[in-house]
Amino acid sequence: MEALTSSSTSIRSQSRAADMPSDDTLLGLFAQGDAAAARILTDRLGPRCLSVAMRMLGNRAEAEDVTQDAMMRLWKVAPDWVSGQAKVSTWLYRVTMNLCVDHLRKNKPDRLADVPEPEDGSPSVADRMQDEARKDALQLALEQLPERQRQAVILRHIEELPNPEIAGVMGISVEAVESLTARGKRALAGILAGRREELGYDDDRR
């Protein structure tokens, strides 16, 4: 692993002098056996996967597993990747989103409210409650949105992807993306407004 790190720094300093190689080029280099390319791709794309997964799942450990899984799929697809056909990041966002959705569906009955007793090996209710408490208001509101709206809002407003790219990630039209983000944002504002009143935040404000 040490050799891997040092060789990647040399590539990185070279590439800073010239133009940064595209994700496409790096994936091609990795397929040809270049280990340093994997390091740069991880630095570049790993945090994006993690960010999306954290907002989709609201849990760091699960989001890390999803990120590792998504990146694994990237390494495996490298030899068959057709350069210029699709954006690597779009493909990876799509894979990450699908993994998150699978994860949410699999773990649905396992969520805090539905679990009467802690089982052996699973996080205790106290741990789960602490997890919940650590979430910011935005996260709690996002988790109340329907899946597709949540995806669209995260990609648009947290990842700041342009609508055509979101359309590519979600496999829908640009119009559908616009409608989902608009409805999602309205719903979020409503949830947060309700929550503020419920928590008495309004009294504290001026």
Partner 1 sequence: MTMTEDEKNLDEMFATARENRPLLSDDLTVRILTDAEQVRLNQIKAADRPRRSYWARVLDGIGGWHSFGGLVAASAAGVWIGFAAPDFLPDPATYIYQQEAGLALADLDTSFLEGAE
Binding site for partner 1 (CB under 8 A): 1, 4, 30-31, 33, 35, 38-39, 42-43, 46-47, 50-51, 54-55, 60, 63-64, 67-68, 71-72, 75-76, 78-79, 136-138, 157-158, 160, 185, 188-190, 192-193
Rounded Cα distance between 39 and 115, Å, is 40
CB of 146 to partner 1, least distance (A): 17
Diameter over CA atoms, the chain:
62
11: number of Cβ within 10 Å: 18
Measured torsion, CA atoms of residues 169, 45, 50, 92, in degrees rounded to the nearest 10: 30
Q: Which residue number, 108 or 206, has a Cβ lying nearer to partner 1?
A: 206
CB of 157 to partner 1, least distance (A): 4
CB 169 within 8 A of CB 90: yes
- For the residues of 64-101, what is the DSSP string, one character each? HHHHHHHHHHHHHHGGG--TTTS-HHHHHHHHHHHHHH
CB of 169 to partner 1, least distance (A): 17
Rounded Cα distance between 108 and 11, Å, is 44
CB 29 within 8 A of CB 37: yes
CB of 74 to partner 1, least distance (A): 9
Rounded Cα distance between 155 and 158, Å, is 6
CB of 21 to partner 1, least distance (A): 16
Q: Which residue number, 51 or 98, has a Cβ lying nearer to partner 1?
A: 51
CB of 115 to partner 1, least distance (A): 26
Burial of 96 (0-12, 13-18, 19+ CB in 10 A): buried
Q: Which residue number, 1 or 82, has a Cβ lying nearer to partner 1?
A: 1
